[in-house]
Structure formats: structure tokens, C-alpha cells
Amino acid sequence: MKKNIYLIFTGLIFLFIASCTKNFEEINSNPNNPDRAPLTNVFAYIIQNMSAKYGTTEMEYAGSYVGYVTKGSYTDVTRYVASPSSSIWNGVYSTTLRNSNFVIEEAEKEGNKNLQAATMILKAYGLQLVTDIYGKVPYSEAGKANDDIIHPKYDSEEYIYNDLLSQLEIANDMLEDKAEAGLLGDGDLLYGGDILKWKKFCNSLHLRMAIRISNVNPDKAKSEISKILSDPAKYPVFESNEDNAFIEYPGGDWIEPWTARHSSIGDDWAAKPIVDVLVDYNDPRIAYYIAAKPDGTYEGLAVGQELDKLYSRLNDLFIKNPTGRVYFMKYAEIELIKAEAAQRGFVSLDAKEAYEAAITASCKEYGIIDSDISTYLQGEKVAYKNDLTQIYMQKWIALFRQSWEAWAEMRRTDIPTLPPAVSSAHTGHNRVPFRFSYPDDEKKLNSSNIPADVNEVDNYWGYQIWWDTRKDVK
């Protein structure tokens, strides 16, 4: 699949080329240099661009919020001195949304239902991410410049989530593993055209969204989760690590984002929270997540603290691996969603079985042997005791390298409970950031639509996103 990634840089230069007159277009059209990229190339570009944008920014922002990775010298980001990056906002609205809408519309015209549906899934993935980061955002009117809507209104998180769940339902119904439903082409960098795997990704993402709203709308969450898990024939979900959704970088000119970022700066250290928990739990994943110090011990750097001695680095698997992967979603997460849903009485499943299956899957991603996994599962802090906190902690551990999702789950569950960074630029807060403040350009260009009830405190605090129901946090 690695060779396919090169497609994204050969066919997509401009989606459209404007013309002054019909005759000019006819005279100047070159059949050997088409004015629009094949849809499969645009589809590939959406995948690659999302992985690059999310993969790079999570290392500096969300990665530190959740206690995975921190800086030792360039601490402006980790101490919240710097303003939030606008990379995700710009990436979603200028690239993901625009190109997704283009592929969806053109695929529908061509009768390619599978490409249309797969792009709807990617679009839903991107839009969930942006609302999870900002809260209320443009949605129903976003990406409609061609309809002369250049100042889109903002929609509530509840409206966005409900519509995204509906869109995923439609996409699942559209996907059919038969030629007449259309092909995804070489641009499918996630699954190489495997429609069943796209259905699994669609419904697994559906579960992620449903569990996210489970504290603010438990009835809706229960209904959606029960619907998906009670009918595997209609709603298949991830069943093993073979179903994981990821893009694998080819190396050379196209390097995995964390490795590329580390290569240019090199100031990335394992954060104290993840190191302390892995050591305390005697977790076998520590050898794969974290690089030991020369004496064989592990020690994480407190987020926000400047480097004062040698601490543990991240494993080279994450920062010196040009052909590494960016994961969109993993099987272990689905089993942990099942475990939580079962524990909370949303579905009739065995919570312990799902919990242990999740841990096993996460460990097997790194080749950890069965006997070590079994020993770990029997550990004092790991052996299942019908405790939701255990499920949440294991999700946090398993989501290592998926920092945006880990940050969202931490805000939903408050597990682990992490304070702001050491030497934070802002006082008076008792948790890591709640959200990103809206980009300055958006405030200037679309100021009349910025929600008045979204109070922004110190760039990262104030308004709590709809599904963030935590009390007494500031």
C-alpha cells in the first residue's frame, strides 16, 4: 500500500481551473493535462492530509495535555504561552471539507456509492475532531462558498453529533461489496479497496461518537450502541487488529509526522504521567512506548518543566521511524467501548471479557507474548474489579500515539485526572486545557457568527464542550 501514497502528489494540483469564456476553455483544454484530478487521487489526498495535520499537531498540543509527550527546552506550547495552533481548523475547513464535498458530489454523479460513502466517513471523522477541539463550530453551512455562504453560522455540538451519527448510518447502508456499487481505486490508503473494512471503520466510528455523548445523553448513547452491537451482520465493527485504520508512510520524501517533527526539533521527551503509570502497573508496553535511560530505568519529564537532567525519550518506534503509521482508529478502543457499555448496562455483554480483549489486542500490536499479557492481566491494578476507572485508564494507555482522542476521553471521563502543566503561564486552573480558542482569523472574518455563550479564558479554558459534564473544573 505504501506505493499508493505517491498518487496524492501527482494528480491533485487544482480541483477546478477557472475560465473566462466557454470558447477559451474549449481552445485551451489539454487532454494530456486534465484540469481536475481523478476522484481516487483526491480521496487519497484527504486521507494523507488528515494524517499529516493531526499527526503533527497532536505531538505538541494534545500529546502534552494527556501526559504522553512533552518538551524540555521549547516549552511555550506545553506551558500554554503560545496561542492554539490553527492547523486543525484550517485543515478541516480549507482542505478536508472542501475536498470531501467535491468527491461526495462527483462520486454520486458517477454512481460510485462506495467512494461516496467512504468519503462521508472521512468527512465525519474530520468534523467530529474539529467539534471535539472547539465545541460549537460551523457545520450545516460550512463548505458552501459555491452557494454564496462565506460567513457560515455555528451549530451546537449536539446538533453536529446527531447529524454525524445519521451520516454514518447512511454511509453504512450505502457500502456494498460488489462491483456495481463502485470502486475506491488506488487512492484508498487505509484499506486498499476493502469495502467490508470500511463498513467496520464506519460503525466503529459510530460507537466512538455514541460513547462520547453517553454522559450528556445516555438514552441516545445506549440506543445507538445497542443498535450497532446487536446486529453485527448489518453493522460490522472492528474484530481484530487486522481491522485497524491507519496510513503507513513510505519514507523518503514522505515521513511519518512524529518522526518528521522530531527530526526538525528533537526536543521530545516521555511525559511523567504515562511513564509513572506504566512503571506502577508493571505494564509490558513500556518497553515499546518509552526508551529506558542508560541505567535501564524509566523516568518521565513533568509537562511544562524545563530539562534539568537526562529523562526518558519516547521509543524510536515513534520518533525515529520514517515509515511509521498514523492511526485513525484501533480495535482495542472498540473492545473498551464494549466494556464500558456493558459495565453501564447499555448492552448485555461481558465487560471483563471485552476489557481483557482490549488489553490483549493493545499488547499484541507490539508483539508482546501471551504469557506476559496473562501476567499483566492478573496484576493488582489491572485485574478487572467491575470498575469503570480501570476501563478508562486502560483506554488512556492504549490510545498512546492517538492524542486527540485521548484528550477528548480525558475531558469526558476525567481519567486520569491531570493538573495543568508545571510553570503554567496561567494560574487558577485545576485541569489541563478544555478546548482551543477560535482562530484569530475566524474571529475577524466571521465575528458576527462566533457564539456569544462560548466564553474563552486564557485561550484554553472557560467553555466546556457539550459532552464534557465534569463538575468543579476550571
What does 88-136 look like in DSSP terms, one character per residue?
HHHIIIIIIHHHHHHHHHHHHHHT-HHHHHHHHHHHHHHHHHHHHHHSS
- What would the grid cell of residue 214 be? 453517553
Distance CA 128, CA 251 (A): 29
Choose the CATH number for 2-19+34-462 among 1.25.40.390, 3.90.1150.10, 1.10.10.10, 1.10.3860.10: 1.25.40.390
Q: CA angle 342-344-346, nearest 5°? A: 65
| Long-range contacts, stretch 136-142, CB < 8 angstroms, 24+ apart | 136/451, 136/454, 138/93, 138/446, 138/449, 139/163, 142/93, 142/97
φ and ψ at residue 254, rounded to 5 degrees: -120, 95
Crossing angle of helices 195-212 and 218-229, in 10° steps, is 160
- What would the grid cell of residue 407 be? 484528550
Q: CA angle 419-421-427, nearest 5°? A: 80
Q: Which residues pair with 137 in a beta bridge?
A: 155
Integer angstrom CA distances of residue 128 from 20, 168, 212, 263: 38, 12, 11, 30
CB atoms within 10 A of CB 19: 14
Would you say how long the chain is, in residues? 474
pLDDT tens for each residue of 433-474:
999 999 999 999 999 999 999 999 999 999 999 999 999 999
**Is the C-alpha dihedral spanning 29, 30, 36, 39 positive or negative?**
positive
pLDDT tens for each residue of 19-29:
222 332 333 33
DSSP, res 11: S
**Which of 46, 51, 39 is closest to 325 using CA atoms?**
51
AA letter at 169: E
DSSP letters spanning 196-259: HHHHHHHHHHHHHHHHHTTTT-HHHHHHHHHHHHT-TTTS----SGGG-EEEE--BTTB--HHH
Q: Which residues contact 353 (CB under 8 A, 6 or more apart)?
A: none
Q: Which residues contact 31 (CB under 8 A, 6 or more apart)?
A: none
| Residues 437/456, Cβ–Cβ less than 8 Å | yes
Q: Which residues pair with 301 in a beta bridge?
A: 271
pLDDT tens for each residue of 108-141:
999 999 999 999 999 999 999 999 999 999 999 9
| Residues 238/204, Cβ–Cβ less than 8 Å | yes
* pLDDT one digit per residue (tens) for the chain, 474 residues: 444 555 444 444 333 322 222 332 333 334 444 456 799 999 999 999 999 988 888 998 999 999 999 999 999 999 999 999 999 999 999 999 999 999 999 999 999 999 999 999 999 999 999 999 999 999 999 988 888 889 999 999 999 999 999 999 999 999 999 999 999 999 999 999 999 999 999 999 999 999 999 999 999 999 999 999 999 999 999 999 999 999 999 999 999 999 999 998 899 999 999 999 999 999 999 999 999 999 999 999 999 999 999 999 999 999 999 999 999 999 999 999 999 999 999 999 999 999 999 999 999 999 999 999 999 999 999 999 999 999 999 999 999 999 999 999 999 999 999 999 999 999 999 999 999 999 999 999 999 999 999 999 999 999 999 999 999 999
